[in-house]
Structure 1
């Protein structure tokens, strides 16, 4: 059985909800809005969750889209939570749809994915060739 980690969460207001997972074994923990917002087409807003977190030592998190939001063309961006950050988690949401999108208090708005912090030694050196090399965007076909 994998080692269980403890994520400490502080509620910052009465609308805050603790992160949850819909199913055991899910990678992401749902984050909830603690604010009501209308996000107009092509607009981006920082939506407060009403929580702050303390990750275990050498852990942090990333905020990613929920598939149900992405299906409506509502996307997250800029979602890295460093280990030492203790402020409110806000989710930067962008509306790429053609209609206003309403966020209600208590709506699931994103996923928090905990990740380990790895200290990499960065060195300047030559790198090996690979099968892919510099083939980037679209290089693997449709």
Structure 2
């Protein structure tokens, strides 16, 4: 179990802390901490504050992911999905909402706008080499196996 500290930033005590909506949920729902309602026009994106900051131990990251219901019903996603929050970041968590739908999308204070999922990060060491070992795939990339 990892201990993650959460701070409600000034002016946001009226919003509940992120919470999981079911016992088996992976993500904590993040809420919009906008001071007044705002709109995300089709094809546009907006930076939405959440009113919280985190302190995580080294070896952990938080990922911001879209909410499936908003994606299905309104075409709402994130421009950088998943967004990464590093263990040493202490600023306010903000979400870049992207409207891929056909209608403007309204955001009100307290709306659930994204999910916060925690992931353990392995300790990795990169070793410089002159040549990599060969595999069957080799350098086959985008679309190399067909449609």
TM-score by length of 1: 0.85
Residue equivalent to 2:94:
90
Residue 15 of structure 1: how far off its partner (Å): 4.1
- 2:32 is equivalent to residue 28 of structure 1: no
1:130–1:73 CA distance, 2 compared to 1 (3 A):
farther
Q: Which runs of 5+ in 1 are unaligned?
A: none
The reply on whether 1:127 has 2:132 as its aligned counterpart is yes
Mapped contact 2:45–2:79 kept (Cα < 8 A) = no
Aligned length: 139
Q: How many angstroms apart in 2 are the aligned matches of 1:100 and 1:118?
A: 40
Residue 8 of structure 2 aligns with which residue?
A: 11
- Describe the shift of the 1:85–1:117 C-alpha distance in structure 2 as closer, same or farther (beyond 3 A): same
Specify every segment of 5 or more residues in structure 2 that has no aligned partner in the other structure, as ranges.
Answer: none
CA offset at residue 25 of structure 1? 3.0
Greater mean deviation of Cα atoms: 127-136 or 26-35: 127-136
